Amino acid sequence: MADEGAEGATEPAPAASHELKAAQKQLKALQWAIPVFAGTVIVLGAKHGEMQRPKRLFEGLLKHWSLSRRYP
Give 54's pLDDT tier (boundaries 50, 70, 90): low
Is 48 a domain residue? yes
Is residue 18 a part of any domain in this protein?
Answer: no
- Residue 16 included in any domain: no
Task: Please indicate, yes or no, if residue 7 is contained in any of the structural domains.
Answer: no
Tell me the H-state helices in the chain.
Answer: 18-51, 57-70
In a domain, 55, yes or no: yes
Residue 59 counted as domain residue: yes
The domain of 49 spans 30-70
Count of domains observed in the chain: 1
- pLDDT at residue 28 tops 80: yes
Helix (H, G, I), strand (E, B) or coil at 4: coil
38 lies in some domain: yes
In a domain, 12, yes or no: no
Distance CA(41)–CA(65), nearest Å, equals 36
Least confident window among 9-13, 24-28, 42-46, 49-53: 49-53
pTM of the model: 0.54
